[in-house]
Structure 1
Amino acid sequence: MYTIREYRPDDEPQWLECRLLSFFGTDYFDDVKTAKTVLPDPQLCFVAEEDGRVLGLIDVEVDGQCATIDSIAVRPDAQRRGIAGALLGHAIQRLPAGVLTLDAWTRENTEANAWYRRSGFVENHRYLHVYKNWDEPNDGYASPEGLSAPVMAFMHADIEHEAAMREKHGRVYLCRQYLRPL
């Protein structure tokens, strides 16, 4: 049985592995980190651990009356055991007094979107994540003198440009903000 505890600095290698493996099969497959994100205080960082192995994680940034899930992940071989829900519940219980909302951002992954809705979140906002791949035209891109046109790029776009972005780029994701009142 797993336990939930505060993140410790010596958890970083397992934190990175857990996040990488969890994100690999999703639209965030290339959101690879080589070091754990350092959030400003106040912050909440917890891991679910079993037999010395990190199975899941949640990091929450707190900004006044709002809190944001920066990362939540469960290793694929530990999914469907209630770990993400337990981590979420644990973090919510430990939020400072006065926090009124918790938000999270995700892309088009069906399972992630369904999990947020089941967990009491409602969609609040959406925009696009747009990638220019190396094999796509450089039309419309400019670079400072001395640099080539972008080989790859990651950009944001307003939702009303979705059709045009999908026509021009092979990787366009709908990014949703979910909000949960507390």
Structure 2
Amino acid sequence: MQIRDYHSTDEQSWLQCRVLSFMDSSYFQDVQQHRQTFARPSVELVAMEKDKIIGLIDAELNSQSMTDKQESGAMIWNLAVLPEYRQQGVAKDLWQAMRKRLLDQDIHYCELWTQEDVPANRFYQHNGFKLDTNATYLRCKIGGRELPLALSKQLNKTVYVEDMTFEAQVSEREQLQPLCGEIIETRMYTQHF
């Protein structure tokens, strides 16, 4: 296996790797037709096996999405490994290569968001990331339900929600359970190194 910089000619292979890697995760609906670009400088790496992308990691430097604005840092936007290459150290090697690149640029802080996927959470915890419980929140998805919307009153008839997602505090999970068709806990992990 070789880890190298992402090249623009890798786009289709990168997209395929990302889609296949996310299919058995809570991010299965996050399909991209074009690879995202970053507003700020970034480090974008791929793991190769015989001219095939088997894993990838992208981090944006000093991202505007970062919560800790007191120091230089990086936000990991993508980390994915093809299912048939998991449990072989590919994700760990990608993270170690990224960490080295960040250190080379005098960046000693990194954060990322993930959901409730057990293997992903276990990986981050095992590799030195700490869960920031203050930043963790719930995403509540509602669909096909009647809700007391202001629009119902204005139209003088019942309005049904086809699809709606909103954020809530983790402490509100029990209260939201009867209302939400799906509740996803979104977690932030951070690491100082």
Same topology, TM > 0.5: yes
Query: Can you list the C-alpha shifts for 1:19-53, whole angstroms capped at 9, x where unaligned?
Result: 11111111111111111111123100010011111
Matched, 1:78 2:62: no
Residue aligning to 1:165: 176
Asked if the contact 1:123–1:177 (Cα under 8 Å) also holds between the matched residues in 2, the reply is yes
Residue aligning to 2:20: 21
Count of residues paired in the alignment: 177
Moved more, 153-162 or 106-115: 153-162
- TM-score of the aligned structures, taking structure 2 as reference length: 0.84
Matched, 1:107 2:115: yes
What RMSD, in angstroms, separates the aligned Cα atoms of the two structures? 2.1
User: What one-letter code is carried by the residue in structure 1 that aligns with 2:149?
Assistant: G
User: What one-letter code is carried by the residue in structure 2 that aligns with 1:72?
Assistant: L
1:164 Cα offset (Å): 2.3
**Structure 2: gaps spanning 5 or more residues:** 63-70
User: What one-letter code is carried by the residue in structure 1 that aligns with 2:117?
Assistant: N
**Structure 1 residues 52 and 163, CA gap change in structure 2 (3 angstroms):** same
- The ranges of structure 1 where at least 4 consecutive aligned residues each deviate by more than 6 angstroms after the TM superposition are none
Asked if the contact 2:146–2:160 (Cα under 8 Å) also holds between the matched residues in 1, the reply is no
User: What one-letter code is carried by the residue in structure 1 that aligns with 2:170?
Assistant: I
Aligned ranges for residues 1-182 of structure 1 at < 5 Å? 2-63=1-62, 65-95=72-102, 97-124=105-132, 125-133=135-143, 135-140=144-149, 150-182=161-193
Secondary structure in structure 1 of the residue aligned to 2:177: helix
Moved more, 114-123 or 26-35: 26-35
Structure 2 distance, partners of 1:113, 1:104, is 11
Query: Can you list the C-alpha shifts for 1:45-102, whole angstroms capped at 9, x where unaligned?
Result: 0100111110000000110612111000001111111110111110111115342311
